Amino acid sequence: MKRLLLLPLLFGLMALPTARADQKEEDAAIHQRHDEWTAAWNKHDPKLLAAFFTVDGDLINPWGRQAKGAAEIEKLFTDEHTGTGFAVGSTYSGTIESIRYLGKNVAIVDVAGEVHLAKAADGTEPPPVKHHLTWVAEKQHGKWMAAACRPCIPAPMPAAPAK
């Protein structure tokens, strides 16, 4: 009886190094995908940016504008990266802080990001827009895609009420 109980434990322990190796590969693939995202942002190509999302993916930008599906997401990026959009001439950089797997093909990715805006007409450079981004990543056809994306700009904590 004891042997039967130990069997699943032994099989689990044998699979552990494989699971860790697979996770390292997936981590590397997600990091690579983030690097590709950074390059796409810095090219200011709305079609390329929208291509990072699943067909039914959704995005809520830091100011609450929502876009669902490829066409709406591309329109949002077009508005932000062309004409008088805030991202025109900007550069993006970010660091993945954590990756949490919810299964083999789904992960939650947390990123600390910065958007460096273009210089103002007088030559001054505005401070970077620091933000936190949560990305629900779904692996489709061997590539990590954004099923949902929620960038937010942290606001200062409100003061405690007066006593």
Domain boundaries, the chain: 22-152
| pLDDT exceeds cutoff 50 at 157 | yes
CATH number of 22-152: 3.10.450.50
Nearest to 145 by CA among 53, 23, 60, 74: 53
The predicted structure's pLDDT at residue 120:
83
Confidence of residue 2 (pLDDT cuts 50, 70, 90): low
Q: What is the pLDDT of residues 31-89, one digit of tens each?
A: 999 999 999 999 999 999 999 999 999 999 999 999 999 999 999 999 999 999 999 99
| pLDDT exceeds cutoff 70 at 100 | yes
**Gap between the Cα atoms of 37 and 60, Å rounded:** 17
